[in-house]
Amino acid sequence: MVTLLLKQYELIRSSRGVVFDFIEREMGEDINTAVPAFDGKTIRYLLVHSANTYLHWLSCFAFKQEINFREDISFTNIDQIKRLYAEADETVANFLHHFSGHLEERINSTLSSNRQVSASPLELFTHVITHEFHHKGQMMTMCRLLGHMPPDTDVIRF
């Protein structure tokens, strides 16, 4: 099953690569432009937020590791954001290999709000990838609102 999930994650990375290429080629500084329709958030903010989500759920929650959330203002260009995602990619690979063979086993942990949560590795993996795609859709809408026509960023591109 882990082999399948790793292949699925490669498709996700490919889709993310289309987003990164588009941002690098077309967006320029507009990734730092606040979009009123999105509560003044920026594309940069959503990119960093999505990477933080991978790191939080897979490192902090599953592995009980201490990490600091990255502030989006610390990332001034797409190359820095790509390096953050390289860290997320490594975390995903380590996570899937570590939990290979017991993807349904429950992991119990406490969130920063002191709320107890129980989730399986499969649920955590599903959460982080769907979370990224949710925000990717928002980012593509933000691109349009900023006057840029984004490419097809789905896993299957037409």
Q: By three-state DSSP, how is residue 6 classified?
A: helix
Residue 89 lies in a domain: yes
Bridge partners (DSSP) listed for residue 117: 109
* Res 79 pLDDT > 70: yes
What integer best gives the mean pLDDT of the chain?
A: 95
Question: Which segments of the chain are extended strands (E)?
Answer: 107-110, 116-119
Sign, CA torsion 8/2/85/121: positive
Residue 8 lies in a domain: yes
* Res 111 pLDDT > 90: no
Residue 52 lies in a domain: yes
Residue 153 lies in a domain: no
In this structure, the chain runs to a length of 158
Closest CA to 153 of 145, 142, 139, 75: 139
The model scores a pTM over 0.85 = yes
* Res 123 pLDDT > 80: yes
Backbone φ and ψ of 33, nearest 5°: -85, 125
Residue 102 lies in a domain: yes
Tens of pLDDT along 1-26? Answer: 899 999 999 999 999 999 999 999 99
* Res 125 pLDDT > 70: yes
- Return the minimum-mean-pLDDT range out of 6-10, 29-33, 57-61, 113-117: 113-117
* Res 114 pLDDT > 90: no
Our measurement of the distance from residue 59's CA atom to the centroid of its chain's CA atoms, rounded to an integer in Å, reads 13
Of the two residues 155 and 120, the one the predictor is more confident about is: 120
What is the span of the domain harbouring residue 99?
Answer: 2-145
Give me the number of domains the chain comprises. Answer: 1
Residue 119 lies in a domain: yes
* Interval 90-105 mean pLDDT: 96
Q: What is the pLDDT of residue 158?
A: 67
Confidence of residue 36 (pLDDT cuts 50, 70, 90): very high
Q: Which residues contact 24 (CB under 8 A, 6 or more apart)?
A: 78
Any idea what the CATH number is for the domain that residue 47 is in? 1.20.120.450
